[in-house]
Amino acid sequence: MTFLDKIIEEKKKELSVFKGKVKELGVGKNISPVRNFLSPFKKKGTCIIAEIKQASPSRGRICDNFNPVDIARIYEENGACALSVLTEKKFFMGDLSFIADIKKETALPVLRKDFIIDKTQIRQSRLAGADAILLIARILSKEELKDFVSLTFEEGMTPLVEVHDERDIEKALFSNAGLIGINNRDLETFKTDIGISLRLRQLIPDDRVVISESGIRQRRDIETLSEAGFKGFLIGESLMMEEGDGIGKKLKGLLALDTC
């Protein structure tokens, strides 16, 4: 089985328990207002969605001194335009509660990054405080993706539809997604190559906001992708592998800000 196969199997087990409690969703819950996830992409300059994750299937634990709220503050203080929060538990050591904790302490919009395969997860995301959610075209049918995009809009959130190849792009365009992310990571091997973004970008109409995800490690990568028409960049491991003040310095370097 590939990494993706294992993750989806685990997600199905998790959902079998969760769906039995779906009637309890939102009872007596104070939900934080939705923040506009698209507005940062309309501003000039480099827009980085900085990711908060403790581990990955390919690397294991990435960050030993992991405090999601502290990391979110560092990202905000050093120029991130939005946050991506891994909430998958087994393989990424995430938790849905991270979102509410982070939103109490920062003003940035927050993306829930997980493996959404069921409609109930969309409502769950809004109740957790998410402003946007990741929808992976590879793991959904064409019709499911369109339905999930519509439901996400109904909940007031922004769907970020993630694509990996030409077939995924066809699904994304059919779904009427306005925000599309090209993932440079192969979902089977988990290896990265920004050449995937450069190849696929030309297949997406200019009326969509297109971002590049994964494998972006230096300012030169961002400059190359910006020239190809990318409006934003989702960056995780190259930031999370830094320690302490190094996270902020790395982010400033990627943004080409003064790091002195």
Which one of the listed residues 78, 84, 214, 238 is annotated catalytic?
214
Query: Is 9 among the residues known to form the active site?
Result: no
Catalytic site residue from 213, 231, 237, 250: 213
Identified catalytic residue from 51, 76, 144, 237? 51
Structure token pair of residue 231: 């409006």
Start-to-end C-alpha separation, the chain:
47
Q: Which residues pair with 192 in a beta bridge?
A: 185
DSSP letters of 155-206? TTPEEEEEE-SHHHHHHHHHTT-SEEEEE-B-TTT--B-THHHHHHGGGS-T
Does 183 qualify as catalytic in the annotation? yes
Residue 113 catalytic? Answer: yes
| Given the residues 183, 197, 212, 238, the one annotated as active site | 183
Go through 150-163 and write b for each residue having 16 or more CB atoms within 10 A of its CB, e for each that does not. Answer: ebbeebebbbbbbb
**Which 3 state secondary structure label does DSSP give 210?**
strand
214 carries an active-site annotation: yes
Is residue 213 flagged as an active site residue?
A: yes
User: Annotated catalytic, 243?
Assistant: no
Cα distance between residue 101 and residue 69, in whole Å: 7
Q: Residues for the chain: how many in total?
A: 260
The enclosing H or E element of 26 equals: none
Q: Of residues 76, 144, 162, 237, which has the active-site annotation?
A: 162
Instruction: Please pick, among 53, 103, 231, 250, the residue that the annotation labels catalytic.
Output: 53
Exactly one of 11, 113, 146, 231 is catalytic; which is it? 113
Q: Catalytic annotation on 77?
A: no
Active site amino acids = 51, 53, 113, 162, 183, 213-214
